[in-house]
C-alpha cells in the first residue's frame, strides 16, 4: 500500500485525491502511517480511505502538506478547530504554526490621502499604517519638473524641453509628500511639475486629474474608500480615508531530506515572516 502513487481519501464525506508522497511528507503523522494500514481510525472501503473528521478543514491540511505553508482566507476564523484537526492527524508542525494565531490573522490597513488646491498648484500627502504600502506607492509615483514659456495650469501637453524627475519628500516611513501644477517664476516662465503614477504612463499636471488617478489606483489595489471630509475649508484641504484587509505573510516550515535516506526528516519551523 505504501507504494501506491495515487491515494483517495473520503474525509467526512468530502473526497480528496492526492499522491502518496504528499501524505508521507511527515513520516510520523497518522496520514503517513495510514498508507501502511497502521492506524485503525482510517477505514479502507472500496479502495478509498475513510475517516470521520471535518472535510472542509481537511482541505487546509492538504494545502499545507502540498506547500508547507499556512495561508488562510481573510475571513477564516476556525483557528482552534483547525489546530485540533492538525493534532488529530499528528501534524504537530502545523499545529505549532496555528498556535501563533495572532500572526495568521489578517490586519486592517489604513491609508489617508490629503489633497489641497492653491491657485495653479496642488499638494498631496499620503499617510499609511503599513510602511511597505507607502514604499510601494513611492516607487509608483514620479514627479517630473521643467520650465514652460507662456503656458498655464490647463495646458494639455508637456513642455518640449526634457523633464527632470524629482525625488518625493519622505517625512517618515509612513508618509510621502508631492505636488503638481505650475508656479510663476522670473520672466515669462512657469515652473511646471507633472505626476506619473504607474502603471499609467501619462504625465499629469492638473491636480484634480492626479487625485482621480491616485484614488483609482488605490481602489484597484484593494483599498475601500470609507470617508471623505474637508479638513480645512479655508485652506481647501480635503481628506480621503481608505482601508483594506492585509493578508499576513504565510508561516512556513522547511523539510530536510536526510542524506542517503528515502524518507523525509521531521519538519523544523522556519523563521516567521512578519508583515510590517
Cα radius of gyration rounded to whole Å, the chain: 28
My answer on whether 141 and 125 are in the same domain is yes
Shared domain check, 98 and 199: no
Same domain for 54 and 38, yes or no, is: yes
Same domain, 66 and 128: no
Same domain as 209, residue 176: yes
* 89 & 116 share domain: no
The domain of 138 spans 110-151+159-244
Q: Which pLDDT value is given to residue 263? A: 36
Asked if residue 249 belongs to a domain, the reply is no
- Tell me how many domains the chain contains: 2
Q: Residue 44 in contact with residue 7, Cβ under 8 Å?
A: no
Residue 95 and residue 43 share a domain: yes
Q: In angstroms, how far is the first alpha carbon of the chain from the final one? A: 46
Residues 172, 50 share a domain: no
Q: What's the pLDDT tens digit per position in 56-114?
A: 999 999 999 999 988 888 778 899 999 999 999 999 999 998 988 777 777 889 999 99
Whole-Å CA distances, 217 to 220, 223, 224, 271: 5, 9, 11, 33
Q: State the pLDDT at residue 86.
A: 96
b/e burial code for range 262-274 (CB count within 10 A of at least 16 → b) = eebeebeeeeeee
**265 in a structural domain:** no
Residue 205: all three cell numbers together = 499636471
Residue 118 covered by a domain? yes
pLDDT value, residue 188: 63
Residue 276 is predicted with a pLDDT of 37
Return d(Cα 83, Cα 43) in angstroms, integer: 23
* pLDDT tens-place string over residues 149-193: 555 545 544 445 688 898 899 999 999 999 999 876 655 667 889
Nearest Cα neighbor of 73 from 51, 88, 57, 85 is: 57
Q: Is the pTM of this model over 0.75?
A: no
**Total residue count of the chain as it appears in this document:** 276
Amino acid at each position: 500500500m505504501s507504494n501506491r502513487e495515487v491515494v483517495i481519501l473520503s474525509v467526512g464525506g468530502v473526497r480528496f485525491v492526492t499522491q502518496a508522497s504528499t501524505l508521507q511528507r511527515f513520516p510520523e503523522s497518522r496520514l503517513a502511517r495510514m498508507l501502511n494500514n497502521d492506524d485503525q481510525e482510517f477505514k479502507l472501503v472500496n479502495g478509498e480511505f475513510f475517516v470521520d473528521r471535518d472535510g472542509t478543514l481537511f482541505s487546509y491540511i492538504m494545502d499545507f502538506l502540498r506547500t508547507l505553508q499556512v495561508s488562510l482566507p481573510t475571513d477564516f476564523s476556525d483557528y482552534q478547530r483547525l489546530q485540533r484537526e492538525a493534532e488529530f492527524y499528528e501534524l504537530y508542525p502545523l499545529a505549532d504554526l496555528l498556535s501563533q494565531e495572532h500572526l495568521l490573522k489578517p490586519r486592517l490597513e489604513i491609508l489617508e490621502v490629503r489633497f489641497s488646491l492653491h491657485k495653479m498648484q496642488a499638494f498631496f500627502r499620503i499617510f499609511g499604517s503599513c510602511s511597505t504600502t507607502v514604499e510601494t506607492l513611492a516607487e509608483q509615483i514620479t514627479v517630473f519638473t521643467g520650465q514652460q514659456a507662456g503656458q498655464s495650469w490647463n495646458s494639455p501637453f508637456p513642455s518640449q524641453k526634457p523633464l527632470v524627475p524629482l525625488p518625493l519628500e519622505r517625512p517618515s516611513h509612513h508618509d510621502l509628500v508631492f505636488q503638481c501644477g505650475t508656479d510663476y517664476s522670473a520672466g515669462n516662465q512657469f515652473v511646471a511639475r507633472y505626476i506619473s503614477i504607474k502603471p499609467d504612463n501619462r504625465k499629469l499636471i492638473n491636480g484634480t486629474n492626479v487625485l482621480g488617478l491616485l484614488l483609482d489606483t488605490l481602489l484597484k489595489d484593494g483599498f475601500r474608500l470609507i470617508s471623505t471630509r474637508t479638513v480645512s475649508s479655508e485652506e481647501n484641504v480635503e481628506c480621503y480615508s481608505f482601508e483594506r484587509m492585509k493578508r499576513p505573510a504565510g508561516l512556513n516550515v522547511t523539510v530536510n531530506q536526510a542524506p542517503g535516506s528515502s524518507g523525509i526528516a521531521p519538519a523544523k519551523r522556519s523563521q516567521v515572516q512578519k508583515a510590517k
